[in-house]
């Protein structure tokens, strides 16, 4: 089974396996975006605290653990 998408004179075709793979990747990206959107407030609070500090700021106990705060702190305080 093959699907073909056409725009003007250009077209691209995908077989069923490729479409399933693209759907899987799209779901992963959507989930990742949702997770990062939900943590935006916590990260913004951390960024505000880290920008005015010279030493490492520990994140709040409720802060999500999949953000690497030590690396974020170093990036925020590195000279441009």
Q: Is residue 8 part of a domain?
A: no
List the domain range (segments joined by +) for residue 71.
Answer: 13-77
Q: Is residue 64 part of a domain?
A: yes
Residue 20 pLDDT more than 80?
Answer: yes
Q: Which residues contact 72 (CB under 8 A, 6 or more apart)?
A: 43, 46, 47, 50
Positive or negative CA dihedral for 71, 73, 78, 80? Answer: positive
Question: From CA 19, how far away is CA 76, in angstroms rounded?
Answer: 40
Q: Is residue 1 part of a domain?
A: no
* Domains identified in the chain, total number: 1
The pLDDT of residue 2: 86
Q: Is residue 48 part of a domain?
A: yes
Which stretches of the chain are DSSP H helices? 16-38, 40-51, 69-77
Q: Is residue 4 part of a domain?
A: no
Q: Is residue 37 part of a domain?
A: yes
The pLDDT of residue 40: 92
Residue 73 pLDDT more than 90?
Answer: yes
The pLDDT mean for the chain works out to 91
The pLDDT of residue 1: 81
Residue 47 pLDDT more than 90?
Answer: yes
Q: Is residue 7 part of a domain?
A: no
The pLDDT of residue 63: 87
The pLDDT of residue 56: 94
* CB contact at 8 A, 79 and 72: no
């Amino acid at each position: 089974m093959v699907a073909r998408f056409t725009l003007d004179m250009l077209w691209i075709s995908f077989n069923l396996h490729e479409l399933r793979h693209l759907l899987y990747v799209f779901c992963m990206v959507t989930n990742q975006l949702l997770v990062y959107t939900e943590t935006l407030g916590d990260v913004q609070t951390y960024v505000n605290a880290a920008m005015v500090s010279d030493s490492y700021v520990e994140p709040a106990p409720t802060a999500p653990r999949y953000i690497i705060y030590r690396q974020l702190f170093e990036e925020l305080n590195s000279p441009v």
